[in-house]
Amino acid sequence: MTSIGVNTFVLRQTPEAPYSHYEGTWESLVDLIRANFDRAKPGYKPGVLLVPLPPEGFWGSTIPVTSETELRAIFQARREGEAKYLSVRARGGKARAGFVFVVLYSKEVLGGEATTSEEWEIVSINARETEEEEPMDPMTMARNFLELPGGTKGDFTAEQFAKSIVYWSTRALIDARV
C-alpha cells in the first residue's frame, strides 16, 4: 500500500482560509487519494504527483475578476520563515468544486520540508469549478525556480511562466474580509 502523509503546509487549507479545501477529515482524504492513486499523473518535476479526485466534498477558492470585483491587496508570507509578497484577493465565497486534484511530493523532493515519515505527502488541494487547467501561481513558480525559502527546486519554461501570468491576471483567490 502506498504510504501517504499530510504535510503541515496543507493544513492551512481550511474553510476559513482563502484556499481550496476538503470538508472531510485528513484521514478520509488520505483514503480517497489511495483509492485514486492509480490515476496519478506526473507533476512539474519527478517526485511530484497530481492525483485527480471526485469533486464531492471539495471547495474551490479562485474566482474570475471583472471590473466590478472588489479587490484587496495584502503583503504577507505564506508561513513563518518565508519572504512576504504582494497578493491580491477578491470579495467572494468559495464554490463547490467541479474538478479536483491533490498534489503529492515524495519524501526525497521535500527533503527537510517533509513533516512525516511517509513516502508521499499531501502539499496542496487544488479544486476549481471548471475543467480549464489552472497553472501554478507565478509567485509559487518563482519561489520554486529560485529555490527561495518554502520552494522546492523546479525548472519552468518562459512559456509556462507567461501562461501562468496571463491566467492569474484575470483571477484571484477569494477573501471574505474584502
Q: Domain holding 38: CATH number? A: 3.30.2310.50
pLDDT tens-digit series, residues 62-103: 889 999 999 999 898 877 888 888 989 998 889 899 999 999
When pLDDT is cut at 50, 70 and 90, the band that residue 148 belongs to is: confident
* 162 lies in some domain: no
* 152 lies in some domain: no
pLDDT tens-digit series, residues 116-131: 999 999 999 999 988 8
CA distances from 104 to 27, 114, 137, 170, 177 (A): 15, 11, 17, 27, 30
* 76 lies in some domain: yes
- Spatial separation of the C-alpha atoms in residues 29 and 175, rounded to whole Å: 24
Which residues form the domain of 27? 4-133
Higher pLDDT, 81 or 6: 6
Q: Which residue, 117, 123, 171, 128, is CA-closest to 151?
A: 123
* 155 lies in some domain: no
When pLDDT is cut at 50, 70 and 90, the band that residue 132 belongs to is: confident
**Domain tally for the chain?**
1
User: Which H/E stretch holds residue 34?
Assistant: helix 26-36
Residue 177 CB neighbour total at 10 angstroms: 9
Angle (CA) 6-7-10 rounded to 5° is: 90
* 99 lies in some domain: yes
* 19 lies in some domain: yes
* 119 lies in some domain: yes
Q: Cell numbers at residue 74, please?
A: 495584502
* 154 lies in some domain: no
CA distances from 88 to 13, 91, 98, 108, 171 (A): 18, 10, 24, 33, 9
